[in-house]
Amino acid sequence: MNLDELLYSSYGFSSFRPGQREIIERVVAGEDVIALLPTGMGKSICYQLPAKVLPGSILIVSPLLSLMQDQVVQLKKMGEKSVVAINSFLKPEDKEKIMSKLGSYKFIFISPEMLVQPFIKQKLKQIQISLLVADEAHCISQWGFDFRPDYLRISEILPFLNSPQVLALTATATDKVTKEIKEYLALKKPFVYCHPMDRKNIVYDLKKFDDSREKVDFLKKFVQKFNGPGIIYAGTRKKSQQLSMLLTEQGISSAFYHGGMEHQDRIFVQQQFQNGEVQWICSTNAFGMGVHIPNIRHVIHFQLPTSIEGYVQEVGRAGRDDKPALATLLYAQGDEVLLESLVMDDLPTQHEIEAVYSKGATATYLIDQGIVRETAFRVIAYWITKLPLDGVIKQMELLRKGKRQQAVKIRELISRETCLRSYIIECFDQQLIDKPTNCCVNDGIDYQIFEAFSSPKEKRLPLEWQDRLSVILPM
């Protein structure tokens, strides 16, 4: 089998991107693989191309519904009809139809929560699955404990599915995270491919202010000077909405996006952004995974990110066309208070742990009664099946310690006087090689490069309600 010919006949590409060949060769050979490729380096092809030669179905475990939806759309655009996403939004009749012919689909996308459901497990057991893909595999470590515990159950499902080979894909993983991916997926001797995570075309900027009002003034001037498409990350849902309103008042085409919105509303905003109908997205960290917009020029963090890993994931959504992109981090005195709050808020309290432990992992009514928060319940419900009460409390303290360490790294980033790029790379246990000319604010930035992407524009006034309606309901 000639992989180059298969690549060209399938996708029209004459050559692989760095790392893709090495990963695909091992997958086709039947090996388990952990692949670390920077954002925008084409991770999806690492399972899409092997699917051309592997028998049976490819099962892709994906963390977000919007990400699954985007991947399904991308595959269908490439002419792949045999693809389906199994999620909680399926109508009963659609779910029944899919399950009746599940083995006929080449690509099956599924959330970790759906994967562990007994009915779904039984249906998957009845078909041939040659490859399980753990997409965004850093969730197993970085988020798995306190955000998506069902990611940790993938290894329990593998024997039930006749132990298919595994491909774990991520853009951001330290040596520690890579080891945890290997451990939690129960991979014995995986091939590990680690590509240098530095994206040379992304320039790291940092602006410091005395207070938040100065940040707002800077943002107003910035969006008037530079064109999108761009993403502005906020620390809270409320702030994402406020920033979007601020831009709209400036005559800038913008929308907000966060996890508290209805699923269909989030999909609609994402489609508007991808279609160029919206120039700026103001969002929490809920936005970005699976968003394939090559010409995003700017990623702005209006408030401090909660981890270096998350920061790199988010800025990595810019410049996928390999042209210069600017990552601007805004800091005002006192922002550390919000950082500490965001880092610690989702961690279960001892009261919540004891409440769930006494009532059991199925006592979801504790959420409805406001006794335990939903995220906290998911974490505790997983760990009480693995550890005694004292062990769960100790595990939560370990998580608390780890999150404090993440916050320390962010504080180090904003106080850094030497190269920001070098520091970020070192956080991923790598060394910076071949520093680009336009590197970071501490080494000097040539902003004229980004002005070249921003041609003079007419002032865009907010749409009247009739115009808004025509966008939502096109003729």
At 386 the pLDDT is 87
pLDDT digits (tens, 9 = 90+) for 59-70: 999 877 767 877
Say what percent of the chain tops pLDDT 70.
93
Same fold, 3-194 and 202-338+410-469: yes
| Over residues 462-471, mean pLDDT | 47
Secondary structure (H, E, C), the chain: CCHHHHHHHHHCCCCCCCCHHHHHHHHHCCCCEEEECCCCCCCCHHHHCHHHCCCCEEEEECCCHHHHHHHHHHHHHCCCCCEEEECCCCCHHHHHHHHHCHHHCCEEEECHHHHCCHHHHHHHHCCCEEEEEECCHHHHCCCCCCCCHHHHHHHHHCHHHCCCEEEEEECCCCHHHHHHHHHHCCCCCCEEEECCCCCCCEEEEEEEECCHHHHHHHHHHHHHHCCCCEEEECCCHHHHHHHHHHHHHCCCCEEEECCCCCHHHHHHHHHHHHCCCCCEEEECCCCCCCCCCCCCCEEEECCCCCCHHHHHHHHCCCCCCCCCEEEEEEEECCHHHHHHHHHHHCCCCHHHHHHHHHHCCCCCHHHHCCCCCHHHHHHHHHHCCCCCHHHHHHHHHHHHHHHHHHHHHHHHHHHCCCCHHHHHHHCCCCCCCCCCCCCECCCCCCCHHHHCCCCCCCCCCCCCHHHHHHHHCCC
Topology (CATH) of 202-338+410-469: Rossmann fold (3.40.50)
At 208 the pLDDT is 96
Domain borders along the chain are 3-194, 202-338+410-469
| Over residues 278-283, mean pLDDT | 94
At 475 the pLDDT is 39
Highest average pLDDT, of 158-172, 260-274, 413-427, comes from: 413-427
At 142 the pLDDT is 57
Topology (CATH) of 3-194: Rossmann fold (3.40.50)
At 460 the pLDDT is 41
| Averaged pLDDT of the chain | 86
More confident residue, 203 or 228: 203
pLDDT digits (tens, 9 = 90+) for 296-345: 999 999 999 988 988 998 999 999 888 999 999 999 988 888 777 777 77
Structure confidence at residue 468 as a pLDDT band (50, 70, 90): very low
pLDDT of residue 462 exceeding 50: no
At 210 the pLDDT is 93
pLDDT of residue 454 exceeding 80: no
At 459 the pLDDT is 39
| Over residues 209-234, mean pLDDT | 93
